[in-house]
Amino acid sequence: MHLSPFQAIRPKPQNMKMWLNRQIDNYDPKIHDINDFMSLIKPDTNNSSHIRKRLDTYLRNAVLKKDPEPSLYFLQIETTLGALTGFIGCAHTDYLINGTVKPHEHVEKNRVMRFKKFLQDSKLNTEPVVICHKDNNQLSEVRSQILHTMPMAEFDRNEATYKLWRIDHPIMIKRVNKLLQDIDCAYIADGHHRCFSSLVYAKEKASKNHFLAYIVPENQLKISSFCRMFTDLNEMRADHFLAALYTHFTVDRIDKYAAPTKANEFTLYIWGSWYRLRHTDRNSSTALERIPSQIIYDKIAKPLLNIRDLQRDKRIQYHHYNNPMTEIKNAVDRKEFVFGIQHYDISFEDIKTVISTSKLLPPKSTHIEPKPLNGMLIFDFLSQ
């Protein structure tokens, strides 16, 4: 692999926390008097063509600055779960074509095209795709050396500490890329749709053939799951639905919530009660068929609920809950959903096994933590 340095557009270090404090998940369009990343992209307007005008204004008013020299960047995100460290730069879209960078989940075409339109209108990449690789001692040593120096910026947000370094010396950039060169196989950990939107954009505009990437060791990733939440039972009664589950599962009603402890275990909430499901089929011969999210599709969503399009069917939704016991129960009790299922976290080794068979996992099979913040470093295609 190779990471191309770029001239990042970013806030001054002392303003980094304020610039990034609001993200999509806590954006309030009624707040207008803050110069931050959300005020730059204004996601509620759905009009990415005006972003460059606001960007030019922010640059003129020194709300943002562009680094004078092309650089790589090093980011550490530290949480209670551990630390994620890696290099940020621009990766070539050819890596998706030649298999150097491999996806593990299906993407939805309309969503890819929406992201592509953002790139086309704004000419900006604002959030790096997280790409992971098998670690090696030499890269680990370089990361350790950087961590012992003073970061360019440091701030806390939502119980996470972010530290950012700028790597602008040509010798250091060359050293990092010499070590990255040994990586001939890497995986998209987070950002499939953004990654493929860059590929589509590059096919239409050959000169725009890079995307922002955060290259991290796979052993530092923390993988959890999305809960599958369903809005109806396909005209079945709840007791008939539970009876139908016995075809492929043992079904036990449990007194209180208990998280799945194995790949073939599932926790289901329906009709005011918790149930433990254990997948009993012995004919699941392929690696993909043993993946928990695939089991839910093959044995529940498709045959019982007639859900065939996991991306577009509105009867299934995906939610990452920090407290599944409370949040699944509350959502079902409020009648937002008829039932919810939590599956066991999928290991990265299992993901790689599936990929090695040229298969992809169902959408939202994994929730990766921690993640870089949107807008920390902005890649301007016009400076490419």
Omega before residue 370 within 30° of 0, cis: yes
Q: Classify burial at 194, counting beta carbons within 10 Å of its beta carbon; exposed 0-12, middle 13-18, buried 19 or more.
A: buried
* pLDDT recorded at residue 45: 85
> CA distances (Å), 61 to each of 8, 55, 319, 370, 376, in order?
17, 10, 39, 32, 18
Element (H, E) at 120: helix 109-122
* pLDDT recorded at residue 384: 67
> Concatenated DSSP letters for 339-380?
EEEEEPPPPHHHHHHHHHTT--BPTT--EEES-PPTTSSBEE
* pLDDT recorded at residue 27: 83
| Pairwise CA distance, residues 146 & 326, whole Å | 41
| Pairwise CA distance, residues 237 & 214, whole Å | 47
| Pairwise CA distance, residues 267 & 155, whole Å | 37
* pLDDT recorded at residue 49: 84
Q: Quote the strand ranges of the chain, DSSP E.
A: 9-10, 65-66, 72-79, 82-92, 101-102, 124-125, 129-133, 153-157, 160-167, 186-190, 210-217, 222-224, 227-230, 249-254, 265-270, 273-279, 316-319, 339-343, 367-369, 379-380
- All structural domains of the chain, each given as residue ranges with its CATH number in brackets, are 9-223+369-383 (3.90.1530.10), 226-365 (3.30.1760.10)
128: nearest Cα among 169, 161, 87, 159:
87
250: nearest Cα among 222, 278, 271, 282:
278
Kindly give the confidence (pLDDT) of every residue in the chain, 384 residues in length, as a single tens digit, with 9 standing for 90 and above: 999 999 999 999 999 999 999 998 888 888 878 899 999 999 888 788 899 999 999 999 999 999 999 999 999 999 998 999 999 999 999 999 999 999 999 899 999 999 999 999 999 999 999 999 999 899 999 999 999 999 999 999 999 999 999 999 999 999 999 999 989 899 999 999 999 999 999 999 988 999 999 999 999 999 999 999 999 999 999 999 999 999 999 999 999 999 999 999 999 999 999 999 999 987 667 999 999 999 999 999 999 999 999 999 999 999 999 999 999 999 999 999 999 999 999 999 999 999 999 899 999 999 998 899 999 999 999 886
And the tokens for 301? 């969503």
- Amino acid identity of residue 276, one-letter, is R
* pLDDT recorded at residue 25: 83
Q: Give backbone dihedrals phi and psi of 9, rounded to 5 degrees, phi first.
A: -95, 125
Sign of CA dihedral 127, 129, 130, 136: negative
pTM for the model stands at 0.92
* pLDDT recorded at residue 316: 97
